[in-house]
């Protein structure tokens, strides 16, 4: 494929075209197959009893009354599953060897019991599970389970959790630190000592949640025919789930079949392992009946993973012209009650803090802290929105300090396109020297500033507020290392009917893989899109796979598909050459027909080629063996990260009386390298930004000091509706990644990374007459009013 600067104009191929999604028709007819839609005859439903305490010792559990309740099949407590190993998200907790060697991070394991036995550590932790004929009866019986709790002191605030007097959440650890890692570049202390200006601030990223509209769900059945365990799961990582189930239940991985059929949004929340996903398959085996569990919304908000909560004590040192000399940041990440994903979020925050800026001296450390709140794990952006919030806010403060326009300050510090690949001096998540492969950050900013029409806004600001409504503009930039390894798999088969089957390891939760992967395969093979069938996230279709997380599916599964397609294309041409009695170099495959390059030569269609073989799908005997199937499996291993980037600008109007923030204009300019399907790409960016706007203005998972969640329903946890999300003003540039054949970069998370920072900047700019500094979100009306009330007026 070509690496033209504008893939929308890519030749005759399908890559670069807004091909309408092939997955839509079924979903539009109500024929989706989400986990809860799959009826398993004779199935029972599970309901979990969850801790009402944030921290308590379990003194007694009595399930007798529940067991006697109508329709109840079984009730389990921690004792009933004590023979199973506690849960660890093994893959996520592994520290890459390179990183371990260079930075010697602390990563402490906190295995989570499948059902709590001695202690509960957060409100929502599973304590018992009821299996009954249906959900109504299971929930009735939950109320009959008697648990005696002895409450323990509760830790909600991570900084308090770190104090030497704090009680320990996990007695086997010396303190409540789960993770600690630090990185230094150059001589930051000297740079700070010699700086013209230093800003020093605390910025807090607040806690919010992924909140997919389909809650988590899992069902499992022992196949009476094969004796194998079949699991339908709302998961982003089916292969890891398969391995975890096999490990926990003492089975061979090959005897567990995980299918992530339709998944109703994931955003990271469905990318990790949960105890419910181990207990339900276990129950299917123990009870000898299919078992289904579907979470309700209250469970999803309080007991499925949370994200984002971080405290940054950040300092910037600069010279008189605003060139950054050094950055120092002390980051505290609230992990909640268990260390689920180790370095993923803290290290993402660390190695994305510098963003697109040139920073010679760096001093960052991150501590992940355990508290009596629901565990926190990656959510769309995974540590990047938090760190971009801190860095971009600090840039805005530095701009004020130096009297330089915020967009100009940014421009002075950007790494230029001529400096690519650019080494930051840090190491990336895999432990290699961190390098930005490609990008044009100044162009991103230039376009964003032009679209936002900063001059017009400054003019309006000079006129003064109208009716107490103040306008402001903000900017934020980010980079994102995408296409995380270690690999992804694609298998392509030519079926006997001449159709092409493509199986990839990465499932889709709405990203449209069936369409974009088919586009890649069709181009690589030279066949029409319509003959390609795509399966994703089925552990039988591809025994190896990682998953759809970390903006990695298109890069890894896409390039695996591309390579497999090229290899299968060669095989098809060779088979056709044998059949037609010509040499392969005289043949070409396009539009599903292998034909001689010269006019009037022989040709053969795929159906004929595959179907008339001596065995189905087997073209001809070769090399004395009886044929080779026309099939290839490719494991694509990215050599490094493909760095995507973007610049956002937002214009807001803030009502000083009501505290309402209205977005007048939202600009996004992004770069994700070559684009396979522009329509799908735009949808991904738009959806990410909507989640970011939600986090910036409305969404917050609130805990009381007693560790009780106060936002356990959609009545008080505010997910934005259509009325709150404006149309976006979008633009894009394309700097193809040299890290892969397709030149693509990941795109799923980018949109969600900058909105908190850009809206905070815009609101602060609008409220400049009051001298407001935005140090945390969300910028709800009450918080905006509080900012105005408590500001030090200039």
Partner 1 sequence: MTPSVPTPLTARTPPLTEPSAWHEIALTVNGRAVTAQVESRLLLSDFLRDRLGLTGTHVGCEHGVCGACTALVDDEPVRTCLTLAVQCAGTEIRTVEGLTTDDAPLTSVQRAFHECHGMQCGFCTPGFLMTTTALTERPDRPDEAQVADALSGHLCRCTGYRNIRRAVCQALDERFGK
State the residues that interact with ligand FES by CB under 6 A. 213, 264-265, 510
Asked if 60 interacts with partner 1 (CB under 8 A), we say: no
Site residues for partner 1, window 71-90 (CB under 8 A)?
71-76, 80-81, 83
The CB-of-256 to partner 1 minimum distance in angstroms stands at 19
Residue 143 C-beta: closest distance to ligand FES, Å: 22
Say how far apart CA 177 and CA 560 lie, in whole Å: 39
Q: Assess 287 for contact with partner 1 (CB under 8 A).
A: yes
Q: How far is the CB of 216 from partner 1 (least distance, A)?
A: 12
Query: Interface with partner 1 by CB under 8 A: which range of 36-44, 465-473, 588-596, 703-711?
Result: 36-44
Contact of 9 with 734, CB cutoff 8 Å: no
Site for partner 1 contains 691 (CB under 8 A) = yes
**What sign for the dihedral angle of Cα 505, 218, 263, 265?**
negative
User: At a CB cut-off of 8 Å and minimum separation 6, what does 136 contact?
Assistant: none
Candidates 544, 536, 546, 545; CA nearest to 503 is 536
Among 12, 722, 792, 793, binds partner 1 (CB under 8 A): 722
C-alpha 701/C-alpha 718 separation (Å) is 9
Neighbours of 95 (CB within 10 A): 20
Q: Which of 322, 383, 510, 565: binder of partner 1 (CB under 8 A)?
A: 510
Residues 728-767 within binding reach of partner 1 (CB under 8 A):
728, 751
The option from ligand FES, partner 1, none interacting with 20 (CB < 5 to 8 A, set by class) reads: partner 1
Q: 105 or 510, CB closer to ligand FES?
A: 510
Span of 287-295, 533-541, 656-664, 739-747 interacting with partner 1 by CB under 8 A: 287-295
Which region among 33-41, 222-230, 321-329, 764-772 touches partner 1 (by CB under 8 A)?
A: 33-41
Q: Containing H/E element for 182?
A: strand 177-185
Q: Provide the minimum distance between the beta carbon of 275 and partner 1 in the complex, in angstroms, as a whole number.
A: 16
Q: How far is the CB of 529 from partner 1 (least distance, A)?
A: 16
Q: Output the smallest distance, CB 242 to ligand FES, in A.
A: 25
Stretch that binds partner 1, among 157-165, 183-191, 334-342, 674-682 (CB under 8 A): 674-682
Q: Is residue 224 involved in binding partner 1 (CB under 8 A)?
A: no
Q: Does 297 bind partner 1 (CB under 8 A)?
A: yes
Q: How far apart are CA 500 and CA 42, in angstroms?
A: 36
Cβ closest to ligand FES, residue 383 vs residue 536: 536
Question: Of 296 and 591, which has the nearer Cβ to partner 1?
Answer: 296
- DSSP tally for the chain: helices H, then strands E: 22, 29
Site for partner 1 in 612-641 (CB under 8 A): none
Q: Which of residues 124, 383, 687, 746 is near partner 1 by CB under 8 A?
A: 687
Q: Is 602 in the site for partner 1 (CB under 8 A)?
A: no
Q: Parallel, antiparallel, or unpaired for β 532-536 and 500-504?
A: parallel
Closest by CA to 169, choosing from 54, 47, 250, is 54
> DSSP letter string over 31-61?
---BGGG---TT-EEEEEEE-SSSSEEEEEE
Which of ligand FES, partner 1, none lies near 722, with the C-beta cut-off 5 to 8 A by kind? Answer: partner 1
Which CB sits closer to ligand FES, 82 or 213?
213
With CB under 8 A as the contact rule, the residue among 14, 46, 47, 63 that binds partner 1 is 63
CB of 502 vs ligand FES, minimal distance in Å: 23
Least distance from ligand FES to the Cβ atom of residue 213, Å: 4
Q: How far apart, in Å, are the Cα atoms of 399 and each of 361, 406, 410, 612, 765?
A: 19, 5, 9, 72, 11
208: nearest Cα among 667, 756, 766, 787: 756
CA distances from 611 to 346, 348, 569, 604 (A): 54, 50, 17, 11
Give the residue with the Cβ less far from partner 1, 377 or 509.
509
Distance CA 632, CA 571 (A): 9
Q: How many other C-beta atoms are found inside a 10 Å radius of the C-beta of residue 462?
A: 7
Among 194, 615, 714, 786, which residue interacts with partner 1 (rule: CB under 8 A)?
714
Indicate whether 364 belongs to the interface with partner 1 (CB under 8 A): no
- Within 103-162, the residues that bind partner 1 by CB under 8 A are 133-134, 136-137, 140
**Nearest in space to 569 (alpha carbons), one of 517, 522, 614:** 522
Cβ proximity of 212 and 267 under 8 Å: yes
Beta carbons within 8 Å of 747's beta carbon, 6+ residues apart: 482, 551, 554, 644, 670, 672, 681, 684, 685
When the beta carbons of 678 and 683 are compared against ligand FES, the nearer one is 683
- From the list partner 1, ligand FES, none, which binds 134 (C-beta under 5 to 8 Å, kind-based)? partner 1
Number of residues located near partner 1, criterion CB under 8 A: 75
The DSSP code sequence of 624-662 is: TBS---SEEEEEE--SS-EEEEEEEEEEEEEETTT--EE
State the minimum distance, in angstroms, from the CB of residue 724 to partner 1: 9
As measured in angstroms, the least distance from the Cβ of 781 to ligand FES is: 25
Q: Interface mask (CB under 8 A) for partner 1, residues 435-454, using x and -? A: --------------------
CA–CA dist 519, 505 (Å, integer): 17
Residue 21 is given by DSSP the state: P
Q: Which is nearer to partner 1, 489 or 691 (CB)?
A: 691
Report, in angstroms and rounded to the nearest whole number, the Rg of the chain calculated over CA atoms: 28
């Amino acid at each position: 494929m070509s690496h033209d600067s504008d893939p929308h104009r890519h030749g005759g191929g399908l890559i670069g075209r807004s091909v309408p999604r092939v997955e839509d028709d079924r979903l539009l007819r109500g024929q989706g197959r989400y986990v809860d839609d799959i009826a398993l005859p004779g199935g029972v439903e599970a309901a979990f009893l969850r801790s009402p305490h944030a921290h308590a010792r379990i003194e007694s559990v009595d399930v007798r009354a529940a067991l006697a309740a109508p329709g109840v099949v079984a009730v389990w407590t921690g004792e009933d599953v004590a023979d199973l190993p506690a849960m660890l998200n093994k893959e996520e907790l592994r520290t890459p060897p390179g990183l371990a060697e260079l930075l010697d991070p602390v990563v402490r394991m906190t295995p989570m019991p499948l059902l709590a036995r001695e202690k509960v550590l957060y409100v929502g932790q599973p304590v018992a599970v009821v299996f009954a004929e249906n959900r109504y009866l299971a929930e009735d019986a939950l109320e009959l389970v008697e648990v005696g709790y002895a409450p323990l002191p509760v830790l909600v605030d991570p900084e308090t959790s770190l104090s030497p007097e704090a009680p320990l959440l996990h007695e086997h650890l010396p303190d409540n630190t789960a993770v600690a890692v630090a990185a230094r570049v150059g001589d930051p202390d000297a740079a700070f000592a010699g700086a013209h200006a230093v800003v020093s601030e605390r910025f807090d990223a607040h806690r919010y949640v992924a909140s997919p509209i389909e809650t988590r769900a899992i069902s499992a059945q022992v196949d009476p025919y094969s004796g194998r365990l079949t699991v339908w799961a709302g998961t982003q990582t089916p292969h890891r789930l398969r391995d975890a189930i096999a490990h926990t239940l003492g089975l061979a991985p090959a005897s567990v079949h995980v299918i992530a059929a339709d998944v109703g949004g994931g955003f990271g929340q469905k990318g990790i392992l949960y105890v419910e996903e181990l207990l339900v398959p276990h129950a299917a085996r123990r009870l000898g009946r299919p078992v289904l569990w579907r979470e309700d919304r209250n469970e999803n908000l309080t007991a499925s993973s949370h994200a984002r909560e971080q405290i940054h004590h950040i300092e910037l040192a600069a010279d008189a012209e605003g060139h950054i000399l050094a950055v120092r940041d002390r980051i505290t990440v609230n992990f909640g009650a268990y260390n689920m994903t180790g370095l993923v979020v803290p290290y993402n925050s660390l190695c994305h803090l510098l963003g697109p800026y040139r920073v010679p001296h760096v001093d960052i450390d991150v501590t992940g802290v355990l508290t009596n709140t629901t565990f926190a794990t990656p959510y769309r952006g995974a540590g990047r929105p938090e760190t971009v919030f801190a860095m971009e806010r600090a840039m805005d403060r530095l701009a004020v300090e130096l009297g330089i326009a915020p967009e100009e300050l940014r421009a002075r510090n950007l790494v230029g396109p001529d400096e690519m690949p650019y080494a930051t001096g840090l190491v990336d998540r895999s432990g290699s020297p961190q390098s930005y492969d490609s990008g044009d950050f100044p162009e991103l900013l230039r376009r964003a500033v032009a679209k936002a029409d900063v001059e017009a806004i400054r003019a309006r600001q000079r006129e003064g507020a109208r009716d107490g409504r103040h306008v402001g503009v903000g900017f934020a930039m980010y980079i994102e290392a995408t296409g995380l390894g270690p690999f992804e798999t694609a298998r392509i088969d030519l079926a006997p009917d001449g159709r092409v089957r493509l199986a990839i390891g990465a499932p889709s939760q709405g990203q449209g893989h069936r369409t974009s992967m088919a586009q890649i395969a069709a181009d690589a093979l030279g066949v029409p899109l319509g003959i390609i069938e795509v399966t994703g996230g089925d552990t039988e279709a591809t025994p190896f796979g990682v998953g759809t997380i970390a903006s990695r599916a298109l890069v890894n599964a896409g390039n695996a598909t591309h390579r497999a397609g090229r290899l299968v294309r060669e095989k098809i041409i060779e088979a056709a050459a044998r059949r037609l009695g010509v040499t392969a170099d005289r043949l070409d495959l396009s539009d599903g027909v292998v034909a001689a390059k010269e006019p009037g030569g022989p040709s053969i269609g795929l159906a004929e080629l595959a179907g008339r073989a001596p065995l189905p799908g087997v073209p001809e005997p070769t090399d004395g063996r009886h044929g080779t199937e026309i099939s290839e499996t490719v494991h694509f291993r990215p050599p490094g990260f493909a760095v995507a980037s973007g610049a956002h600008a937002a214009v807001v109007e803030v009502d000083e009386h009501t505290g309402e923030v209205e977005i007048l204009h939202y600009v996004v300019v992004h770069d994700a390298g070559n684009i396979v399907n522009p329509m799908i790409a735009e949808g991904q960016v738009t959806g990410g930004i909507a989640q970011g706007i939600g986090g910036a203005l409305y969404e917050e998972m609130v805990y009381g000091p007693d560790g009780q969640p106060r936002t356990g329903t959609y009545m008080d946890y505010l997910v934005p509706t259509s009325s709150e999300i404006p149309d976006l003003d979008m633009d894009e540039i394309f700097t193809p990644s040299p890290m892969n054949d397709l030149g693509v970069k990941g795109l799923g998370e980018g949109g969600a990374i900058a909105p908190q920072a850009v809206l905070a900047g815009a609101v602060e700019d609008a409220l400049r007459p009051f001298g407001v500094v935005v140090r945390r979100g969300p910028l709800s009306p009450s918080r905006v009013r509080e900012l105005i009330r408590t500001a030090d007026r200039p």
